[in-house]
Homo-oligomer: A and B are copies of this chain.
Amino acid sequence: MTPAELDAADPLAALRDRYVGADSGLVYFDGNSLGRPLRVTGERLREFVTEEWGGRLIRGWDERWYELPLTLGDRLGEVGLGAEPGQVFVGDSTTVLLYKLIRAAVDAAPEGRDELVIDTDNFPTDRYLVTAIAAERGMQVRWIDVRRDSGVTADLLADAVGERTALVVLSHVAYRSAYLADGPELTRIVHDAGALILWDLCHSAGAVEVALDAWGADLAVGCSYKYLNAGPGAPAFGYVAARHLGRLRQPITGWMGHADPFLMGPEWKPSPGVRAFISGTPPITGMLPLLDQLDVVEEAGMAAIREKSIALTEFAIELTDTELAPYGVTLASPRDPAERGGHVTLNHPRMREVTEVLWRQDVIPDYRDPEGLRLGLSPLSTSFDEVARGFEAIKAALA
């Protein structure tokens, strides 16, 4: 099919117009670094300042904001994560939430479980924190070596876990290769070894179907500024399975995670619920754009979003094979859509220069060392025509 035919057949095509600049001519292949804003979000923020913050002032905390990290978390859990209410919260950065949840898991690890397991191509922050926390707590890191165009398979994981494993930290979709890990199967392998698993959902939330409760996941974190279009540095989200609430404890014990914050008593007494994982005053302004995006995600449905995401990446791979392979470009992402998330990485020794050329032409992919052109095809805001135009530009840059 031609790009025009693919767009005509796309049941989600009408939603594109709701995003700022989707019709601007710019080719945007970086929705997995920073998603486009919804048009309604600008006015929502203006109104928030003048009406809710400016009008309700401190009363806004009682009326909505105090619960917002949890109500927004519940809604995200329902619409995008497959999580029942009371397990998801929004706030802090992904890095801070990783620190809090990894610490919560390792601080509660049984005697003798002194290993943290992570793969060598996980996102840098995940690797840095696992390394730092292991050093801090006198534990070991067990590294899973992965191929850069793949990720953590069941076999690799099964070889790495055992009776010394405390926690496994895995990305659901690998930030470089887009390898889509098998959520339920890997969770089962970790549990069979008697350990806990923390899923990093940064590159999957909003693009790939996630079912944390059904997988039996223990912990998860993710960011809202990629496929959840909540804006630069928007707050992250965390998930703690209901069975761990009241049992796992995080170390950054601020007043907002207290069972009764305004008691202001001498001792920190954790909230019995997932609130205990909140630390300081929640970042309300930064949370608001996510509300708008969740409306659209719910309207479209995650199954349809995933279907379009697959169609976009399949189309990109088809164009790679026909248009770019002759120039020596190779696919650094899985070919099987069941093993691939919402982006595609293409390798070529000159991709750094290609990226610079493309940016000057308003074609915006991401570059990732050593030679990867990473194309993040945000399903709700990207058209097949946009993909086709982008590939023409990549081809011209290589030629």
CA distance A47 to B37 in the complex (A): 12
CA distance A222 to B286 in the complex (A): 19
Q: Which chain B residues border A286 with CB–CB below 8 Å?
A: 233, 283, 285-286
- Beta-carbon contact of B57 and A50 below 8 Å: no
- Beta-carbon contact of A125 and B280 below 8 Å: yes
Within 8 A of B (CB), among A124-171: 124-125, 127-129, 131-132, 136
- Beta-carbon contact of B95 and A255 below 8 Å: yes
Copy tally for this chain in the complex stands at 2
- Beta-carbon contact of A235 and B283 below 8 Å: yes
Render A252-271 as a binary contact track against B, CB cut-off 8 A, 1 for contact: 11111010011111111000
- Beta-carbon contact of B37 and A255 below 8 Å: no
Q: How far is the CB of A115 from chain B (nearest CB, A)?
A: 18
The yes or no answer to A87 lying at the interface (CB within 8 A) is no
- Beta-carbon contact of A125 and B255 below 8 Å: yes
In the A-B complex, list the 10 residue pairs whose CB atoms are closest, starting with the nearest: A93-B280, A95-B280, A95-B254, A20-B54, A42-B49, A128-B268, A46-B46, A232-B284, A45-B45, A233-B283
CA distance A30 to B123 in the complex (A): 42
A34, closest chain B residue (CB): B58
The yes or no answer to A92 lying at the interface (CB within 8 A) is yes
Q: Which one of B57, B223, B233 contacts A364 once the chains associate, using CB atoms below 8 Å? A: B57
The yes or no answer to A21 lying at the interface (CB within 8 A) is yes
The yes or no answer to A41 lying at the interface (CB within 8 A) is yes
- Beta-carbon contact of B235 and A359 below 8 Å: no
Q: Which chain B residues border A285 with CB–CB below 8 Å?
A: 45, 231-234, 285-286, 289
- Beta-carbon contact of A279 and B132 below 8 Å: no
Q: Which chain B residues border A234 with CB–CB below 8 Å?
A: 283, 285
Tell me whether A252 and B54 are in contact in the complex, defined as CB-CB below 8 angstroms, given that A46-B43, A265-B124 are known contacts: no
Report the stretch among A3-11, A59-67, A192-200 that lies at the interface.
Answer: A59-67
The yes or no answer to A237 lying at the interface (CB within 8 A) is no
Within 8 A of B (CB), among A342-367: 359, 364, 366
CB-defined A-B contacts under 8 Å, sample of 21: A20-B53, A33-B58, A34-B53, A34-B58, A37-B53, A41-B49, A43-B46, A65-B233, A92-B93, A93-B281, A94-B254, A95-B254, A95-B279, A96-B280, A123-B264, A124-B265, A125-B254, A132-B253, A232-B281, A285-B286, A286-B286
- Beta-carbon contact of A252 and B45 below 8 Å: no
Q: How far is the CB of A96 from chain B (nearest CB, A)?
A: 6
Q: Which chain B residues border A277 with CB–CB below 8 Å?
A: none
Q: Which chain B residues border A125 with CB–CB below 8 Å?
A: 253-255, 280
CA distance A137 to B364 in the complex (A): 47
